[in-house]
Amino acid sequence: MMLRSVAEARAKTLSRRLPVPPSHWNAKIQGPDGRYLGRPDGWWDEIALAWEIDSIDFHFTKDGYARTLERNTRYAAAGIIVVQTLPSRLDKDPAGVLAELEAAYRTAASRPRPPVHLVADDLAA
């Protein structure tokens, strides 16, 4: 498991308070046809739930915003449920973030898992 930012480290620490924390961090996800879908910060493989820590600085430049929209569209088209969290909420509203993740987990667990998979090189993540 490789964390890429301080915000991701804070997210991992916060996720330990969840009944079921993410099974992987920054794992590459592919669709059933092998097409790249994304590399979510947190990933619950058993239910195909993605957690993205999306900072304004990185994701909301003109190009960054376009990449974020494209990524989320790929997730949606593949049936992946995604939760987006601003890094500032990890400290300012941890209870709210946890509640959103728990609700998304329940929703993802209640539907058939879409046929997406981890890339083999990332299975040890």
26-74: per-residue pLDDT in tens? 999 999 999 999 999 999 999 999 999 987 655 455 677 888 899 999 9
Cβ atoms 29, 121 nearer than 8 A: no
For residue 64, the domain's CATH number is 3.40.960
Picking from 7, 40, 14, the residue whose alpha carbon sits closest to that of residue 25 is 40
Q: Of all helices (H) and strands (E), which one includes residue 38?
A: strand 36-38
Local confidence band at 85 (pLDDT 50, 70, 90 cut-offs) = very high
Half-sphere exposure of 106 (CA within 13 A, CB side): 6
Mean pLDDT of 79-99: 96
What does pTM read for this prediction?
0.87
Task: Answer yes or no: is 57 within a domain.
Answer: yes
The domain of 55 spans 6-122
Average pLDDT for the chain: 89
Among residues 34, 20, 30, the alpha carbon closest in space to that of 80 is found at: 30
Q: Tell me, yes or no, whether 1 lies in a domain.
A: no
Does residue 79 belong to any structural domain of this protein?
Answer: yes
Residues 79 and 48: beta-carbon distance below 8 Å: yes
Query: Among residues of the chain, what percentage have pLDDT more than 70?
Result: 86
**Structural domain count, the chain:** 1
The reply to whether 82 falls in a domain is: yes
